[in-house]
Amino acid sequence: MPSSPFSQPRCRSLKCLTALLLFSLVLPACTPKVIVRKSPTDQDRGIRYYRPKPYLKVEPAEVAVNKSQSTLVPGMVRISLVYMPDFSEEYSISVRSGCGIADVGIKLEDGWNLTEISQELDSQTDENVEAIGSLLSAAGGLIPTSARDDSTDSLSFTVPARNVPIGFYESVVGRDHCNVKRLYGFRYLGFMPFAGCPVEMDGHTHASCQDPGVCGQHPAGSLYGLTFAGGEMVFQPLDVMAVTPAVTAVSLDEKQMMSSERIERKPDDVAELEPPVAAVDVSRLTTDLRAHLKNLGIEFNFFNATNENGITRIRVNLSDAGSAMPVREAIEEWLSQRYIELDLFDIELTSDVGE
Amino acid sequence: MKKTTATLSLDALRRLQQTFLQRVATRDRENIRSVGFTPAQLTANNRYGVAAQFDVARKLKRVPQPRRIEPIETVRLLDRRTRHYQELELPTQVRQIREVIPTGVAIATEDDRATTSLVVRWTTVRPTPPKPDTEQPDDPRWRWGLLTVSHLFVGRGSTESRHRARVRRVAVCGAGPLTIRSRVVVRGRIPGGPDVALVETGWDRLWLSGFVREIGSPPLQVAAASDLRRWVSAGTRGQFVGDGVSFPWSWQTYYPTLSIRGLGRLEQVVACKVSADRNEGKQPFGPGSSGGAITAEGLVIGIQVAAMQPRFDVGYAQTMEVSFAWVEKKLRASALEVVAVVGSTDRTSIT
């Protein structure tokens, strides 16, 4: 009797092989796993977190009056580094227990900041190691970002300041022409939400220094920076800063010297910090406004603008007295598109005839 | 019939200057350098009028009668409309001046430079196409450039040749290009003028550098003959916008023609002076400032071409009335517009 090609021992070994193959295929799916996804979709059910982004917080400086009270110091601001979510860097973490047990602890601070991951898995498979590796690489190396952390507390200093807007300054990070990420500086945000007009100073997207206030920025539309003038920190357009000699705060006297410690000064009258005042370039205003009025077809005998004690006086002698109202409106509209403080302007309309 | 000096046309002033220059030739040719016209308060009716200004090398205390410049000079002026002569009595001023020299240095080394402060756009298309705006900035029918002085390019071939020029931003701001490459499209003949040159470049470079703030901005107004006439008798105050500087000036003298060493006889030159308090230890119209713009009452008056040594506090500018019209004609442009005066914070120089 000829032996069957599927004799019993052979058949048994084939079954074992098939089972082993199936097990090896199913095993990865059963293994506990931590999955990190960048820019998750709406359907993603993972736990969301954001990468931290450094901001400068500029606030009025305070000194302690007694143990329970503090007061503001006029002319001084405190600058500190804080971390807030970078909404362009969103991640989700999904934990899949599979066939085993996944004891994964995720600690989010303020609901967005991933500060800790602890996990105990019942299987020491390569997948777990890879998952942790991918998690860490996706997180880019976790850094202490809590505002309460000691390391960030030390990153603050108090300096004399004038016309420095209080609020948050967002870090502008971009890639240079070598595709290397760089911190380009900090951009004033104030307490306003994102206004839909970012300027990414990343070496590819350029911003004109003279770009008018299209972004709801300062009247002149310029980019601004913080610098020292006369021993005080001031908020200045970059184009002005480029031609202004820089001085440091080191030249200040002892009382005003830059300090990382709290200032022990007795509060006098607390002066209100004034908002930045637009530097009106009268020459440019005169030529541009005149051109604008001419473009509107407005006829006038005389037009000029002068700066007197911080007030810009715009004087127009009209050919037709009846057009005074529309001309005033046209001037005010033009000014409002470029300057915030319309109180700084005095419009004087006269006419030789028809009055 | 006596004509009031406040209503003199530019042509009348030109003819008056010729008359005075002829008198100068017979009086004191060596000492009197030029004759211009300046605002003066007339004592008779306490109103402003025009005074003839004699620029002299040395102001003398005692001058013999035949060589003397009288406090009031009487001249005859032909009224072209009535074909009758009018007798004018012009008050005179004698001013001692130093040598007036061009302040844009001809390029020989890397260090020489001039200034450009006026951004222009032009088209040769007829009828004139709509102006480029933010939506359609890249309109090839419109071309862009910067105005500067012609004497910058003296000794660099014929006036018709197309030189390359580089507009370099002295102070860098933002991420715009450091150097704007351009080419000389037209330039006036030196000596003789007009002392103006146009270097062409792209709107994108001008915008990125912050020289042009709004692509679709309306054209700036250029001072016309009527404005000049008004200022000849009443004077004005304005602003000089140059290489990273901007300072106020006051109207001094109007010269229908003025001879400047190296530049020849230029038509329609305005002298303006920086106020004393702005001039401490500085040379506002010093070497390299040629090409800067002088403006007043929102009007672009002219391009600075020269200054008086050694303090350089009196600048000389050729009016746009002459230079701008010449450029427009030379380009055969259907439209030529000044788009922007490059502000004091946008520092430029041409090398």
Residues A208 and B137: their CA atoms lie apart, in Å, by 15
pLDDT over 80 (residue A9): no
Nearest to B208 among A208, A240, A243 (CB): A208
- Determine the distance in angstroms separating the CA of A317 from the nearest CA of chain B, rounded to an integer: 12
Which pLDDT band holds residue A223 (cuts at 50, 70, 90)?
A: low
Residue A136: the pLDDT is 40
| Secondary structure (DSSP) of A19-60 | HHHHHHHHHHHHS-EEEEEES--TT--SEEEEEEEEEEEEEE
Going B157 to B159 to B161 to B166, the CA torsion angle's sign is positive
Stretch A38-42: mean pLDDT: 87
C-alpha closest to that of B162 among B204, B197, B123: B197
DSSP for A232-279, written as a single string? EEEEEEHHHHTTS----GGGS-GGG--BSSPP-----S-PPPPPPPP-
Give me the total of CB pairs closer than 8 Å, taking one residue from chain A and one from chain B.
102
A282-351: what fold?
GMP Synthetase; Chain A, domain 3 (3.30.300)
Chain B touched by A201 (CB under 8 Å): yes
Q: List, as ranges, residues 27-66 from A with C-beta within 8 Å of B.
A: none
Find, in chain B, the residue whose alpha carbon is nearest to that of A289: B298
More confident residue, A221 or B277: B277
**A48: which strand partners?**
A92
pLDDT interval class at A290 (50, 70, 90): very high
Q: Please give the average per-residue pLDDT across A294-317, as a whole number.
A: 87
C-alpha B125/C-alpha B47 separation (Å) is 48
The nearest alpha carbon in chain B to A223 belongs to B174
Distance from CA of A96 to the nearest CA of B (A): 48
Q: Which residue has the higher pLDDT, A212 or A337?
A: A337
Sort out which chain B residues have CB atoms less than 8 A from A208's CB and list them.
Answer: 174, 176, 207-210, 213
* R_g of chain B, CA atoms, integer Å: 21
Do B176 and A242 count as a contact with CB atoms less than 8 A apart? no
Residue A36 has pLDDT above 70, yes or no: yes
Give the pLDDT confidence score for residue A122 in this predicted structure. 56
State the Cα angle at B57 between B51 and B60, rounded to 5°. Answer: 80
> Which residues in A lie closer than 8 A to residue B172 (C-beta atoms)?
242
A319's tokens: 């050919």
What is the CB neighbour count within 10 angstroms for residue A46? 15
Spatial distance between the Cα atoms of A228 and A130, rounded to a whole number of angstroms = 50
Highest mean pLDDT among A175-184, A209-218, B174-183: A175-184
Most confident of A149-153, A175-179, B245-249, B253-257: B253-257
Set of chain B residues whose Cβ sits within 8 Å of the Cβ of A294: 218, 221
Residue spans of beta strands (DSSP E) within A65-179 = 70-96, 102-109, 113-121, 156-162, 167-175
Least confident of A63-67, A220-224, B39-43: A220-224
Res B3: pLDDT: 53
The tokens for B333 are 């442009």
B174 touches chain A (CB under 8 A): yes
Contact partners, residue B240, CB within 8 Å, separation at least 6:
B246, B247, B248, B249, B272, B274, B284, B285, B292, B293, B294, B295, B304, B315
Within 8 A of A286 by CB-CB distance, chain B residues are 239, 295, 297-298
Tell me, yes or no, if A314 comes closer than 8 A to chain B by beta carbon.
Answer: no
User: Are A38 and A49 within 8 A, CB to CB?
Assistant: no
Ordered by start, the domain boundaries in chain A are 32-276, 282-351
Compare A228 and B117 and report the one with higher pLDDT: B117
> Which residues in A lie closer than 8 A to residue B247 (C-beta atoms)?
none
Residue B98 CA, chain-centre distance (Å), reads 19
Could you tell me which chain A residue has the CA closest to the CA of B247? A283
Say yes or no to pLDDT of A108 above 80: yes
Consecutive H or E run containing B77: strand B72-79
Decide if A36 contacts A135 (C-beta within 8 A). Answer: yes
Q: Say whether A210 and B175 touch across the interface (CB within 8 A).
A: no
More confident position, B136 or A265? B136
Instruction: Assess B221–A contact: CB distance below 8 Å, yes or no.
Output: yes
pLDDT at A33: 74
In chain A, what residues touch B173 (CB-CB under 8 Å)?
209, 238-239, 242
Distance CA A182, CA A174 (A): 6
- The percentage of chain A sitting over the pLDDT mark of 70, rounded to a whole number, equals 53
Six-digit token string for A138: 């996706």
Closest CA to B95 of B41, B49, B33: B33
**Residues of chain B numbered 295-324 and touching chain A (CB < 8 Å):** 295, 297-300
Chain B hits for A289, CB-CB cut-off 8 Å, are: 298
Q: What pLDDT is recorded for position B244?
A: 65
Chain A residues within an 8 Å CB radius of B221: 287, 290-291, 294
End-to-end CA separation in angstroms for chain A? 133
Report the residue of chain B nearest A296, measured CA to CA: B218
Provide mean pLDDT across the span A321-334.
86
Is A208–B241 a contact, with Cβ atoms under 8 angstroms apart? no
Question: Can you give the pLDDT at residue A202?
Answer: 44
B chain contacts of residue A245, beta-carbon cutoff 8 Å: none
Instruction: Give CB contacts under 8 A, 24+ apart, made by A133-142.
Output: A134/A35, A134/A36, A135/A34, A135/A36, A135/A93, A138/A36, A138/A38, A138/A91, A139/A36, A139/A51, A139/A91, A139/A114, A140/A51, A142/A114, A142/A115
Q: How far is B41 from chain A (nearest CA, A)?
A: 21
Those residues whose C-beta lies under 8 Å from the C-beta of residue A71, and which sit 6 or more positions away, are A62, A63, A65, A267, A270
Q: What is the pLDDT of residue B165?
A: 60
ipTM of the complex: 0.81
- CA distance linking residue B259 with residue B99, whole number of Å: 11
Taking only Cα atoms into account, the Rg of chain A, rounded to an integer number of angstroms, comes to 32
**Under 8 Å between Cβ of B52 and B117:** no
**Residue type for position B338:** V
Per-residue pLDDT of chain B (351 residues; tens, 9 = 90+): 455 565 788 999 999 999 998 888 777 788 888 999 999 876 666 677 899 999 988 888 888 887 888 888 889 988 888 888 888 888 999 998 888 877 654 443 344 456 677 889 999 999 999 988 877 778 889 999 888 888 877 765 555 445 556 555 544 344 455 566 677 888 898 888 799 989 888 887 777 766 777 788 899 999 999 999 999 988 999 988 876 677 889 999 999 999 998 889 999 999 999 876 655 556 778 777 788 899 999 999 999 999 888 888 899 999 999 999 999 999 999 999 999 887 644 444 554
B contact residues 47-106, partner A, Cβ 8 Å cutoff: none
Look at residues B310, B299, B244, B245 and name the one whose alpha carbon lies nearest to residue B270: B299
pLDDT at B227: 93
* Best residue in A236, A286, A314, A316 for a mutation probing chain B (most B CBs within 10 Å): A286
Contact (CB<8Å) B341/A283? yes
- pLDDT above 90 covers what percent of chain A? 4
* Core vs surface per residue B96-134: b (16+ CB within 10 A) or e: ebeebbbbbbebeeeebbbbbbbbbbbbeeeeeeebbee
Looking at the whole model, is its pTM more than 0.95? Answer: no
Give the span between the Cα atoms of B3 and B15, in whole angstroms: 15
- The first and second tokens of residue A19, run together, are 């089972």
Contact A303 B297 (CB under 8 A): yes
User: Which of B231, B345, B347 to substitute to test the interface with A, most A CBs within 10 Å?
Assistant: B345
